[in-house]
Amino acid sequence: MHLDGYSDSAFGDVLDVFTQILEEPEQRGAALCVQVAGETVLDVWGGVIDRHGEQLWQRDTLVNIFSSGKPVAAVVLLQMVEQGRLDLDTPIAEYWPEFTQQGKHAITLRQVLSHRAGLPAIVEPMAADALYDWSRMLDAVQQTPPWWTPDSAHGYAPMTYGWLVGELMRRVDSCEPRAAIAQRITEPLGLELYLGVTEEQLPRVGDVMRMKGAVTDPTALRLMREMGQTPQGLTAKAFTNPPSMMTSTNSLQWRSMQQPAANMHGTARGLAGFYSALLQGRLLSSEMFSHFQQEHSVGTDLTLLTPTRFGLGCMLEQADQPPATYALGARSFGHPGAGGTLGCADPEREVSVAFVTNSLGPSVLMDPRAQKINAMLKRCL
């Protein structure tokens, strides 16, 4: 088995857990980075990146981190709030007049970031190729009425979040989301996180593939049952409208588009570095950082049909919910990504963790692989 990178001997047990994950029969490749007080104590990778098992995972391999990129986009908008260019509680329509359609005149950025806006899915059926047409998707978002009275409940927005936050970046920062994220966060910090990859970067991108085997995660089973029984319902539309959302993640179109909710590509090092920068106060003021982590939504999620807990663009610890715990600390925050990726931090221990993989498991919230890593890491700290 291929394994490479750096590990501090004090974290040998964490490395053992990572090695065991790589040895699982369905596991193709993965990378793990752990930083404590800004110092890298583990930066390891292994396995293969292609579907034929011929290309080894390298130090600079990029992989789609899916929703683990959502907090990066949120921080860009919170920086604009700090600069006085956006306001958390001013209606979005002030910056984006066309957004007022279908009773959305009072929806705010705070509600979007905490999944309380009532816009987790697009109502009108969309063609598969619409996913890659920003203006078509924007028009569909504008034409969608809220699924519930905004701010009266919460429901995770897997993809619409990307068009909502991305269009606000375009309107307020006068640049594309890719450039806003690069200029404000990733380039100043030297982080390998890219919203859509360039032609030069494409050879470094790993193929993502679903792991075989029975689905046992109760949250995933409930979600699949609901999507099958109610194909026109909120949950089904959130994940399958347009239908290409679930089926095209290895395509050139997916890899090169700019969708802040789902198609950021990066390394574990880049993702861990983002969280370390947050903990060190290099991205947000201490006041805004507290706001970012403050509980805004808690309880049954109308999209995921399970308890979730959100701050402003990040998912917060739920120690009493096994599928939703980071297994690290009471104040942990971060965001899982489809299939197993996880980026998170524990401010009490000053630790940042990123696990990225091209072997997609069935879990809806936290992946058991990442939870095992964090549980062992907590014991080592």
114-126 pLDDT, tens digit per residue, is: 999 999 999 999 9
Rounded to an integer, the average pLDDT of 167-182 is 97
Q: Report the pLDDT value the prediction gives residue 16, as an integer from 0 to 100.
A: 98
Examine the pLDDT at 349 and tell me if it is beyond 80: yes
Assess if residue 225 is contained within a domain: yes
Q: Is residue 263 domain-resident?
A: yes
Cβ contacts of 289 within 8 Å, gap of 6 or more: 278, 281, 283
Note the pLDDT of residue 1.
85
> pLDDT, tens digit, for every residue of 281-292?
999 999 999 999
What average pLDDT does this structure show over 76-98? 98
Per-residue confidence (pLDDT) for residue 218, from 0 to 100: 87
* pLDDT of 365: 95
Length of the chain as a residue count: 381
Q: Which residues contact 108 (CB under 8 A, 6 or more apart)?
A: 88, 89, 90, 91, 92, 117
User: Is residue 342's pLDDT more than 80?
Assistant: yes
26 in any annotated domain = yes
**Does residue 50 surpass a pLDDT of 80?**
yes
Mean pLDDT across the stretch 53-74? 97
Is residue 157 over pLDDT 90? yes
Please check whether residue 91 lies inside any domain of the structure: no
Number of structural domains the chain divides into: 1
Would you say residue 214 has pLDDT above 80?
no
Q: What pLDDT does residue 160 have?
A: 98
Q: What is the model's pLDDT at position 279?
A: 98
Q: Report the chain's mean pLDDT, rounded to a whole number.
A: 97
Rounded CA separation 134/194 (Å): 18
234 pLDDT higher than 80: yes
242 upstream amide cis, omega within 30 of 0:
yes
The CATH number of the domain where 223 resides is what? Answer: 3.40.710.10
Report yes or no on 132 lying in a domain.
no
> Which ranges constitute the DSSP H helices of the chain?
12-22, 70-82, 109-113, 134-143, 160-173, 177-181, 187-189, 218-229, 234-240, 252-256, 268-279, 286-293, 368-380
User: Does residue 61 form part of some domain?
Assistant: yes
Those residues whose C-beta lies under 8 Å from the C-beta of residue 320, and which sit 6 or more positions away, are none
CA 209, CA 224: separation in Å to the nearest integer?
19
Is 85 contained in some domain? no
The 10s digit of each residue's pLDDT in 291-322 is: 999 999 999 999 999 999 999 999 999 999 99
Q: What is the average per-residue pLDDT within 213-238?
A: 91
- State yes or no: pLDDT of 108 exceeds 80: yes
Amino acid type, 201: Q
Distance CA 7, CA 355 (A): 15
Mean pLDDT across 227-249: 94
Mean pLDDT of 244-262: 95
C-alpha–C-alpha distance, residues 212 and 333, integer Å: 29
- Give pLDDT, residue 216: 80
pLDDT recorded at residue 219: 87
Q: Say if 255 falls within a structural domain.
A: yes
Residue 9 lies in domain = 3-72+182-380
- pTM (whole model) above 0.85: yes
* pLDDT in the model for residue 246: 86
pLDDT above 70 coverage of the chain, percent: 100
